[in-house]
Structures are given as structure tokens and as C-alpha cells.
Amino acid sequence: MSEDNAREIVLSLEIDDPALAARLATLLGNVAGLRLAAPGEQATATIVSRDMPEDIALTQRELDVLALMAEGASNKMIARQLGISVHTVKFHVGSLLDKLDATGRTDAVAHAARRGVIEL
Amino acid sequence: MSEDNAREIVLSLEIDDPALAARLATLLGNVAGLRLAAPGEQATATIVSRDMPEDIALTQRELDVLALMAEGASNKMIARQLGISVHTVKFHVGSLLDKLDATGRTDAVAHAARRGVIEL
DNA sequence: CGAGGTCCTGGCCATCCGGCCAGTTTCCGG
DNA sequence: CCGGAAACTGGCCGGATGGCCAGGACCTCG
């Protein structure tokens, strides 16, 4: 294997905490083979660290339903998957809309993803 | 301000390309003040680099509709926002479901977010 | 000029969604 | 032991959603 692809690695930062961002920039600035991305530059990889707002208190069952919702499952499919009735699914979906402050299931999944409750 | 929070920074890796992951791990392993996360360990930040599949060819209008869908907007609301009829919105939504290989609007938004077409 | 793509609109309809009412069971903590 | 939270189920219903049919307008490329 040649090492021609072993070019300089360019990293971009997406850090909410300014102090942490500064420390990382300092530390990484002195590493050979590494470079921080210029503004707008295409980076090899991105370092991400988001401030966690407050995590929402979701029950296990709500998390089950939410995960399936994010997969695009209908209430009927969720009911089959979890072995419960459609009514119960709707019940949990209703709770999720409430807790996630969403207007519909699409909004709920979007909010949950934004808040890191689920991973897309 | 105390500098008590200037503890060791723990980084986790989420790199699709194994070669790149290995190089980063090597480079970062020798940086004082930095440490790579143990499996399952809570990290300070995450280094992310995803292989880009192929970007989907969406028309401008479809992107407009998609963006509003991700906000949880109903077809009626989207129609009002864009100044077009609900029928036309449905038309674009249909195209999106088709192009994104989704079963419903929720699935469409999830797919689009996963593929980087939209930012949540 | 014709073909094809995008964008736009209408009607029709089966299904899905979400909110409302009601009720049961189980389990845990005060 | 009683209260509350979680999970579960049912009926009902207005509105939303998505698929199907049809059409027209515009623009670009061949």
C-alpha cells in the first residue's frame, strides 16, 4: 500500500462552548499532519460538541415508539412491532407530541433529533 | 474565572473510513491534554467524518417543501408559505417521497437529514 | 418545432393521524 | 394501603395525508 493518501488532515470545529473550542484549537494546532480548516474550507472531518440543553424525560415505551417513528413506521406498524394496540401507540405518540412540544409526528422526530434524544 | 474546568479532553471517533480513523487515532494519541474515549465512555467532543453516498437531485421547489416539512408544517401551512395550492404541495411531497425512497413525510425528513440534504 | 422536465392546479377517495372521551392493570413510593 | 405514574385498550370523529386520475404553462435542449 502506498501512503499517497496520507495527506494532511483538515479538521473543522463545531463546538458550542467557546472555551473548549479555544483549547482544542490550541492543542490541535501543534500536531504534525493535522491542520484546522480555514473558514469555508472543505474539511476531512469535523469535531462536534453540542451543549446539552435539558434532556426530556421520556419513558422507555415512549422511546420505543419514537425510534420506530423515526424509521417512518406508521402507528399500525409500530403497534405490530411492539405487540400492542394502535390505540396504545396513539396514546404514546400523543405523550411524545406533548413532551417534545411538537405539532405532529414529523415535528416530533425532528425535535427529538435536534435535542439528541434520538440518532438519525 | 477558575481554570478547574480545563480538564483532560476526551474525544470519541465516528469515522467511516477506517484508514482515516487509524491515522487520527495515532496522531491524537500523542497530544498532551487529549485522550481518546474508551468504548462507551462519555466524550467531551466527537470527531465525525461520514462517507458521502451520492447527493439526491432535488429541484428548488422540492427543497423548499422539504425544509418546511422538517419544521413540522402541514401541507396547508406549506401551501400558504409558498403561495401555492395544497394540491401542488402534495405533488412535490409525492416527488420527495419518491426520490428519497420514503414511506411518508416523517420518513422523508429522516432520510433527508441522514443524507445531509437538510440540516435539522 | 417537438420532446422532456419542472411547476402548477383540480377532483376523488381510502387511509392515517391526532384529539377527545372513557376505562383497566401493574407497580412503586409515601 | 392508598395515590400516582406508566402502560394499555376502546370508541368516535374531524382533519391531514398520500395515491390516483386529469389537465395547462413555461423553458431548455436537440
pLDDT in tens, A48-87: 888 766 677 899 999 999 999 999 999 999 999 999 999 9
Same domain flag for A69 and A42: no
Contact (CB, 8 A) for A71 and A83: no
The model's pTM: 0.84
In a domain, residue A55? The reply is no
Please compute Rg for chain A using Cα positions. Answer: 21
Residue with cell 420514503: B102
Among A24, A106, A118, A120, which would you mutate to test the B interface (most chain B Cβ atoms within 10 Å of its Cβ)? A106
Task: Quote the number of domains for chain B.
Answer: 2
Same domain flag for A87 and A43: no
CATH number of the domain residue A85 falls in: 1.10.10.10
Q: Are strands A9-15 and A34-36 parallel, antiparallel or unpaired?
A: parallel
Same domain flag for B75 and B38: no
Concatenating the DSSP letter of every residue in B89-111 gives HHHHHHHHHHHTT-SSHHHHHHH
Nearby residues of B56 by Cβ (< 8 Å), 6 or more positions away: B99, B100, B115, B117
Helix (H, G, I), strand (E, B) or coil at B45: strand
Same domain flag for B88 and B108: yes
CB contact under 8 A, A47 and B49: no
Strand spans (E) along chain A: 9-15, 34-36, 45-49
Whole-number Å distance between alpha carbons of B50 and A27: 24
| pLDDT band per the 50, 70, 90 thresholds, residue A23 | confident
Q: How far is the CA of A91 from the C1' of D5 (A)?
A: 15
Residue type present at position B52: M
DSSP B10: E
Contact (CB, 8 A) for A110 and B71: yes
Instruction: Kindly state the greatest CA–CA separation across chain B.
Output: 60
Same domain flag for A68 and A39: no
Look up the domain containing B71 and give its range. Answer: 60-114
B41, with CB counted inside 10 A (0-12, 13-18, 19+), is exposed
Q: Tens digit of pLDDT for each residue in A81-101?
A: 999 999 999 999 999 999 999
Same domain flag for B45 and B68: no
Residue B39: CB atoms within 10 Å: 5
Residue A2: CB atoms within 10 Å: 5
Percent of chain A with pLDDT over 90: 48
Q: Tens digit of pLDDT for each residue in B43-92?
A: 888 898 887 666 778 999 999 999 999 999 999 999 999 999 999 999 99
Q: Which residues of B are less than 8 Å from A68 in CB distance?
A: none
Chain A window 32-71: residues with CB closer than 7 Å to nucleic chain C are none
Vertex B29: Cα angle to A12 and B114 (nearest 5): 40
Same domain flag for A32 and A66: no
DSSP B117: S
Please compute Rg for chain B using Cα positions. Answer: 21
Q: What is the dihedral of CA A108, A114, A117, A118, to 10 degrees?
A: 80
In a domain, residue A84? The reply is yes
Same domain flag for B12 and B34: yes
DSSP B24: H
